[in-house]
Amino acid sequence: MDEKYNFPDKMKMASFALMGIGLLSLIIGFIVSPNRTWADLLVNNIFFLGIALCGVFFIAANYLANAGWYVAIKRIPEAMISYIPIPAVIMILIGVGAGTHLHHIYHWADSKAVAADELLQGKEPYLNITWFMIRMAIYFAGWLGFAFILRKLSRQEDIAPDTKYYKQSLIYSAAFIVFFAVTSSMCSWDWIMSIDAHWYSTLFGWYMFASMFVSSLTAMALIVVILKRQGYLPKVNFGHIHDLGKYVFAFSIFWTYLWFSQFILIWYANIPEETIYYVHRLEHYKFWFFFTPFLNFLMPFLILMTRNAKRNYNTLIFVGGVVLFGHWLDFYLMIYPGVAGHHDHWNPGLLELGTLLGFIGAFAFVVFTALTKANLMPKNHPYLEESLHHQT
């Protein structure tokens, strides 16, 4: 069964237009308010990196769980993986920017600030720009390596029917999960938690992972729905769509659990060095702060609760849009207040919207182009037959 995706010209043009808007917003932003635009770049970059990266996690976790149902939609996370090199480049730019003082996202990168700050001196062995860049290189090397090996094995399996590809994928998946468990946590400390360099939360890695994974699942569900709407993936039935809906539902609750756990422990203990994070957000970003759980918890929880809602393309598209925006806002609230400091308060504006649209365009362009590179339905995967008969 050969089925190749054909990227429609209309969509291509739309994604170029979005990229144009994004580029324009970035240029205007860098002229008007460079520091804020660097933060904007960081928010979008990490958000879309998470979406792409958790595609690898999704594949690896399903390999290890011996899952069969997902094989019919396996090519979508595989296409999402193709986006990882772009955030890698932008992240290196942000790192170089921090090292050369082009921006002040990372307070600890400023040697004058460190000299006057005893706490930062204590953290210097970890939070210094050289070690920061080395760690970044390790993360991206590992993620890209595993991602492309898993994708390559999957495509080789299409050509030659042999279970050795499946067995190799299992081993790489297991290794990736171990690597990802450590690096997903560490990258959240490095790139986000260190913005508020005095503050720390032991839950932060998990919290960011939850945000990344649920965004990734939502993006996957949306891409499957778009492909179905365009008439592709005839073998993907409502069982698969339903299961993706369940994933979005369940991990929205998981995100809420971690969001709330982090908040309640800090609120309860009431230690000033910890509460400062929430004081800052509740004083100046109150609306956005309470708007996130509304978008990320209440909306998917109430709308996706019934079976029919998870099987309906329109509700999935609506909730998907809401959840993706909500998690973008979540990253916004993790990053912006810390970068703005205690004197400025940056509420999301038109330039932020423009950059977000630009990143959506770039992501869509890369992913849908990657979809054209391989068959939409894997061949010869040992669980393919099981997946085609999937029912829920």
Partner 1 sequence: MEKDKKYLLGIFEDEDKLMEAVHYVRQNEYEMFDVRTPFPVHGLDDVMGMKRSRIPVAGFLCGITGTAVAFGGMTWINTVSWSINVGGKPFFSVPTFIPITFELTVLFAAFGMVGVFLYANGLFPGKEPLILDERTTDDKFLIAFDLNNEHIISKQKEITDLLTKYGATEINEKVIED
Closest distance between partner 1 and the C-beta of residue 207, in Å? 16
CA dist 247 and 221 (Å) reads: 9
CB 165 within 8 A of CB 157: yes
Spatial distance between the Cα atoms of 143 and 59, rounded to a whole number of angstroms: 13
Pick 142 or 239: Cβ nearer partner 1: 239
Cα separation, 62 vs 78, in Å, equals 13
Cα gap 199→290, rounded to integer Å: 21
Binding segment for partner 1 (CB under 8 A), chosen from 114-122, 235-243, 303-311, 356-364, is 303-311
CB 60 within 8 A of CB 150: yes
Asked if 285 is part of the footprint of partner 1 (rule: CB under 8 A), the reply reads no
Segment interacting with partner 1 (CB under 8 A) among 70-78, 129-137, 262-270, 358-366: 262-270
Q: Are 259 and 290 in contact (CB under 8 A)?
A: no
The two most distant CA atoms of the chain are separated, in Å, by 66
260 binds partner 1 (CB under 8 A): yes
Q: Please state the closest distance from residue 267 (CB atom) to partner 1, in A.
A: 6
Judged by CB under 8 A, does residue 159 bind partner 1? no
Query: CA nearest 147: which of 49, 223, 235?
Result: 49
Is residue 270 a contact residue for partner 1 (CB under 8 A)? yes
Q: Is the CB of residue 174 less than 8 Å from the CB of residue 130?
A: no
13 counts as binding partner 1 under rule CB under 8 A: no
255 lies in the site for partner 1, by CB under 8 A:
no
CA angle 225, 42, 261 (to 5 degrees): 75
When binding is defined by CB under 8 A, the residue of 63, 251, 255, 263 that contacts partner 1 is 263
**Token digits for 168?**
């190799």
Q: Is 264 in the site for partner 1 (CB under 8 A)?
A: yes
- Number of residues located near partner 1, criterion CB under 8 A: 10
391 lies in the binding site for partner 1 (CB under 8 A): yes
Whole-number CA gyration radius for the chain: 21
> Any contact of residue 287 with partner 1 (CB under 8 A)?
no
Task: Answer yes or no whether residue 307 interacts with partner 1 by CB under 8 A.
Answer: yes
Residue 354 C-beta: closest distance to partner 1, Å: 36
267 scored as a contact of partner 1 (CB under 8 A): yes
Distance, C-alpha 305 to centroid of its chain: 24
Residue 266 or 334 having the CB closest to partner 1: 266
Over the window 212 to 241, marking each residue x when it contacts partner 1 by CB under 8 A and - when it does not, the resulting string is: ------------------------------
Pick between residue 12 and residue 311 the one whose CB is nearest to partner 1: 311
User: Residue 222 CB, nearest distance to partner 1 (Å)?
Assistant: 25
Per rule CB under 8 A, is residue 271 in the interface with partner 1?
no
* H or E, element range at 53: helix 34-64
CB 169 within 8 A of CB 63: yes
Q: Which stretch binds partner 1 (CB under 8 A): 47-55, 186-194, 264-272, 288-296?
A: 264-272
Residue 319 C-alpha from the chain's centroid: 17
Q: Which two tokens stand for residue 376?
A: 């939409």
Residue from 125, 268, 271, 272 touching partner 1 (CB under 8 A): that is: 268
CA distances from 59 to 80, 139, 314 (A): 11, 18, 26
* Minimal distance, residue 270 CB to partner 1, in Å: 7
Among 305, 341, 347, 353, binds partner 1 (CB under 8 A): 305
Q: Interface residues with partner 1 (CB under 8 A)?
A: 260, 263-264, 267-268, 270, 305-307, 391
